[in-house]
């Protein structure tokens, strides 16, 4: 448990799916801004430990917590561990854990039901479960925040598998509903990254990664694709700066979706 003096100085955040990519960038941004951070992961312990190292280097107190966000029992245990470690404090929840399918959208009729259900279990049920069981701690704070990771394909069609884009649309809808349910002391917003540099899109695009990312960058007003660090900055801003903003989805795509 953190000491009372340190507890008074630093806020506490829980970031799910924080071992790599966007999750790691969010942790890094929060730690640099004065948050202590609970770092959730489900499989990649070595990567999560690297995220923890980065956060500690920035001055944060951290804890690692392994939990599958789609499993309610594991979520309950995770929240109990966060409660114990940080003395009942939780100022910010970032629902970032997510997964996808490898079936392209034009082949959705070949998809196994289990594949579809797996994506919704992590992306949608996971967001619901973690928020459900974090609410008690969030409500104990004078002010608190939830930020959900959606996607631009939750707002418009894109080259992402059907369950992924559908799940992100569900998260955007959940964000609005939760904002109404949890106000006025808890604000709930979402970020919707566009074409994102890094391993997620490398897996999605395969050998076409470099060519397609270069093309998207040229079509973007800011002349590049988004980075995990851009998303981390957006999450931090929503959580700490925009005090009269709730129920909103902030698009992080350099303007691509508005000109293409």
Do 148 and 171 form a contact (C-beta atoms < 8 A)?
Answer: yes
What backbone phi and psi angles, to 5 degrees, belong to 95? -85, 95
CA dist., res. 208 & res. 5, Å (int) = 52
Category of 163 on φ-ψ map: left (φ > 0), alpha (ψ -120 to 50) or beta: alpha
Structure tokens at 96: 């970032």
Helix 228-240 and helix 21-32, axial crossing angle in degrees, nearest 10: 50
Query: What's the full length of the chain, in residues?
Result: 260
CA 167 to chain centroid = 13
Do 205 and 213 form a contact (C-beta atoms < 8 A)?
Answer: yes
Catalytic residues: 164
């Amino acid at each position: 448990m953190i000491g009372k003096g340190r507890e008074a100085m630093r806020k506490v955040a829980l970031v799910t799916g924080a071992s790599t990519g966007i999750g790691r960038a969010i942790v890094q941004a929060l730690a640099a801004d004065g948050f202590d951070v609970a770092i959730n992961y489900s499989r990649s312990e070595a990567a999560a430990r690297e995220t923890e190292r980065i956060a500690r280097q920035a001055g944060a107190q951290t804890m690692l917590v392994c939990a599958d966000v789609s499993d309610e029992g594991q979520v309950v245990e995770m929240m109990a561990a966060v409660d114990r470690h940080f003395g009942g404090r939780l100022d910010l929840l970032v629902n970032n854990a997510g997964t996808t399918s490898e079936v392209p959208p034009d082949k959705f009729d070949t998809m196994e039901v289990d594949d579809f259900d797996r994506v919704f279990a992590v992306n949608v049920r996971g967001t619901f479960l973690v928020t459900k069981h974090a609410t008690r701690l969030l409500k104990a704070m004078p002010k608190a925040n939830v930020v959900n990771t959606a996607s631009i394909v939750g707002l418009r069609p894109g080259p992402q598998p059907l369950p992924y884009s559908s799940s992100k649309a569900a998260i955007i809808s959940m964000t609005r509903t939760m904002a109404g349910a949890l106000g006025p002391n808890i604000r709930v917003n979402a970020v919707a990254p566009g074409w994102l540099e890094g391993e997620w899109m490398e897996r999605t695009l395969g050998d076409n990664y470099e060519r397609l990312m270069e093309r998207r960058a040229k079509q973007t007003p800011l002349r590049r694709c988004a980075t995990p660090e851009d998303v981390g900055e957006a999450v931090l801003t929503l959580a700490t700066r925009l005090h009269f903003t709730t129920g909103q989805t902030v698009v992080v795509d350099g303007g691509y979706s508005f000109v293409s």
